[in-house]
Structure 1
């Protein structure tokens, strides 16, 4: 199976919805045949003056609609593509979006039909960092996503990106108890400094009470390079530059986020342990077929699946249309069997996968990992 896998870089770009057209134009010029787009929202703090002329400010969380664009490119073109897109959309400016790339192994050829123009390094915008990590939390209880977004903003790490999904697997095996675990999920993605990723994960687990049954699942995966959005606060400012602009400027000067490390020492007595040696399998297929592939993966040993709706946008001669993405976080030892089962199932299901990727997971946690003697069927993820 390893001979079939090729190394790719998956690029994820979260931008305001009104900037979608400009992004598609740039991606078409680069040579991409198609991309996948997911609807979501970003969460920031909104500051307002107090009514009746009272001194001080009040703050609340504010959502903004965004599009999350996914596509893959060869590793050697990853940074030029990211830099060109970041330059065109001014993503290096706080508040203009987030972009990052992750190394994966894929069964499918890249949809890049032409080499991205390589421009002089001096023309690239500053801000591309190589010491980032992606924390992803899949919540099962209504309101937990908002709570985790608030914690992330209070910590000042970056702007949370929230999308919707649906879970299956463990929930389907609980019988009547399944009514206590909703199928609808909120998926919160947070691009953070890699130095603090484990400490931030532990804090999110505690604040979001993810160490209780049925609350959700969280994992951290490596990022090859990216630009994070540090515009956490919108509203009146009292200084010539916002603190977010100052942080972004220091990141560029240092070319690293190590200077703002917060968790130099981790508490070993936190009451829970993080799992390691896991991998994330991601497949994309035509709409209404993700459930069949999820059943195949679960039968092969995956514990649960999270699915989401995507729109495939054609930028050339590739077909577009509605798609579904299905993800599984499993132990590394199970990955080969599950990937073999998924590729073999294409003939039986009769619908070819649009993509099938696997990537490493540094840390993961779910309550199921602590209580696996009750529900274990070999997977790492709780749904």
Structure 2
């Protein structure tokens, strides 16, 4: 298929897959995403519950805005109280930091089913590398909840509306997920942009240490803060078990690309690291199937005026679903990624993670214990392998 024909097919596919009323149809606010998490369906809502969610910023800026998502809801949900503050310890906030967020000038907001909404800008500075705390309450929440299951970060919940309180006392129950919140943006310095990591459980941070922000995109954010790069914002849009081609745990990368990635403000680069779940699923996915999926993503990212960096698929011999046939697909896909020249840059996570004695297996020093997910050291090695100069193709 020629590039032109692939582009036409990608445009048609994007139109067919777009979720009605979802955030991809909105114009994102001015600014740059400083934190993000992919949305998914997470069971049934509970009315009258409050959530105090801890997120870690990447790029500094002013006038923070949050995005609340009801993308997977089947009815409207009203948030009657939403606050943003800085964390002191646990669920306790820095005194004087907790402030109410408004939505089109109002204290409450109703988000239609399938939609998202941005808050108004909250005046003031938000530093990089900060634990920001978003507290939300809904008196009438019902139906499917939209959120992010595997946060690798402790947050908190309570019954009743305690969003305005800076004390952590009412927030006695801890949770490991984020609810309804899927993005935070700021007005960054002129010329600053963001990179979005689109991936699966490795990008989501499984086997990294909870509460220490040691996912590979976190390490990348720390590198970017110290670098002269104009790409400073980092959003982690990984979903555990996610696939490129088909829905399963979360919508596929193809189906969620607009909402989870391209709709975020200030995105300059998409970093795609995904494919192992397609390969190991034993559903007959071929290397050419995955290659076609990567090409569709590339065409849509480039049509949106963004750069695309793609990583090779890492080793997973020793994982229960590994077999020689799956390994052959992985090798063919990786050869295509390395040699096709169809992306703005390539990062070779396979070569970073694999053992020099067995290229099909992860180096034990980097292995989180299950032979597919890297530990903290592996996550850091991945981030260290990213060429920061190649994250902005407009500058190359």
Does the pair score TM above 0.5? no
- Higher RCO, 1 or 2 (CA under 8 Å, sep at least 6)? 1
Could you state the TM-score of these two structures normalised by the residue count of structure 2? 0.21
Structure whose residues are more often strand by fraction:
1
Could you state the TM-score of these two structures normalised by the residue count of structure 1? 0.22
